[in-house]
Copies of this chain bind each other. A is one copy, B any other.
Amino acid sequence: MTIAHPPKPGNALWVYAHPRRESLNDRLLQAGAKALSQRYEVTVSDLYAQGFDPVLSRRDLGDLSDRPGNIAELAGEAYASGQLPADVREEQAKLAAAELLVLQFPLWWYGPPAILKGWFDRVLTSGFAYGDLDPELGVPRRYGDGGLVGRKALIVVTAGEDERSIGPRGISGDLDSLLFPITHGVLWYVGIGALDLHVVHDADSLGPEEVEHQVERLVTRIGGVDDEHARQFRRLRDGDYANTRALREDLASGRTDLGIHLADRD
């Protein structure tokens, strides 16, 4: 089972999940990808333009589609036997080549649009993006040691809400917690370290000058992205969750917030 995919140096994948042209997101994509292309070979997966189908279904299982069992495990078998659909294989090839991943999307119902959620569901198959016990590591290929280990990811998210509503103690929950299922549950699980979120607040009500400011801000951010360090969550292999899969009592004692899983907070 292949669980390590060395990236191609200087390669980046920009996954874009917004339906409209001439939108703020479109502006950010054009300017951001251009800025990034000064140092990277940038591939864009424009999920809406591609007509990407986000629904994981029997179509994803090749000749295993009638076999009983867990669909994620069966998709892993379909991956191992080269039976995944062409659109999934293409996305996997792009992702495997990239050393930097950008995920750009508008915040819909406090999460990614369905088309991006389904990109996770279909593309990050068992065997490709994570695996069972690795004999050398002594732990499963998950949580910091997944099949895509060594990569960094930048999340660019536009939100209709203001900075306070999705900030610490904000009424909608803080965005770091709301997107923990992506930064930790998806990215860290498969070995990819997320950089600090790049958030554009009040995205529905920006005037022309504010849009320009946000475009500039993203271009500047991308200019310095190589010098940024990804947030490190705790790794399974370090023993912080030894025996129980719950965080050891002596670490981040008394706390129950999701921030306890960050590795650099003790």
Contact = CB atoms under 8 A, between A and B. Distances in A.
A40 interface: no
B167 A185 contact: no
Interface in A66-112: 68, 70-73, 108-112
Interface in A112-156: 112-115, 117-118, 120-121, 124, 143
Interface residues of A, number: 65
A189 B107 CA distance: 15
A143 B171 contact: yes
A182 to B, nearest CB: 8
Copies of this chain, tallied across the complex: 2
Contacts of A258: 173, 177, 257-258
- A interface SS class: loop
Interface stretch (A30-38, A213-221, A241-249): A241-249
B110 A170 contact: no
Interface of A: 19-20, 22-23, 48, 54-58, 68, 70-73, 108-115, 117-118, 120-121, 124, 143, 160-162, 164-165, 167-174, 177-178, 180-181, 184-186, 189, 204, 234, 236, 241, 244-247, 255-261
